[in-house]
């Protein structure tokens, strides 16, 4: 499987809000930037996901559009895409531009940075 396909698989699974998957696939010092939280760490993201899971908050629909992949080095990849997603408890979807940077370490890809910027639907 080529790296872009592998990374898109990881990216889609991250949108399932599985805290174990997050912990396993985010670099220990990963940074994530969301409009609601600002910059957070992997551990803060896992705690937020655990809280969302307790509250029954899950994504019902997630669609990636316009995916672009860049490979600045053999072991670093950048994914960029437009995401349209809807929480199960909401009737309308949100849209955002998302960018993720992955590094290949010890035989696996780890997310080191992710940012979402809201955009109009």
pLDDT (tens digit per residue) in 10-26: 999 999 999 999 999 99
Mean pLDDT in residue range 100-110: 95
Cβ pair 70, 77 in contact under 8 A = yes
pLDDT above 90: residue 106: no
> What's residue 121's pLDDT?
85
pTM for this prediction: 0.93
pLDDT of residue 29: 96
Which residues, other chains included, contact 26 with Cβ-Cβ below 8 Å and sequence gap of 6+? Answer: 42, 45, 110, 111, 112
| pLDDT value at residue 69 | 97
pLDDT at 1: 80
CATH number 3.10.450.50 given to 3-119: yes
pLDDT single digits (tens) 2-11: 999 999 999 9
Segment (H or E) for 20: helix 19-25
Structure tokens at 103: 């590094």
Which H or E run includes 43? helix 42-54
């Amino acid at each position: 499987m080529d790296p872009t396909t592998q990374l898109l698989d990881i990216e889609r699974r991250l949108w399932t809000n599985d805290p174990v998957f997050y912990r396993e696939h985010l670099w220990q010092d990963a940074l994530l930037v969301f409009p609601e939280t600002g910059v957070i760490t992997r551990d803060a993201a896992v705690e937020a996901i655990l809280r969302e899971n307790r509250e029954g908050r899950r994504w019902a629909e997630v669609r990636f559009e316009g995916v672009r992949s860049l490979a600045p080095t053999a072991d670093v990849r950048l994914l960029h895409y437009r995401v349209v997603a809807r929480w199960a408890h909401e009737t309308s979807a949100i849209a955002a531009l998302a960018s993720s940077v992955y590094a290949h370490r010890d035989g696996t890809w780890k997310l080191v940075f992710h940012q979402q910027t809201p955009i109009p639907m």
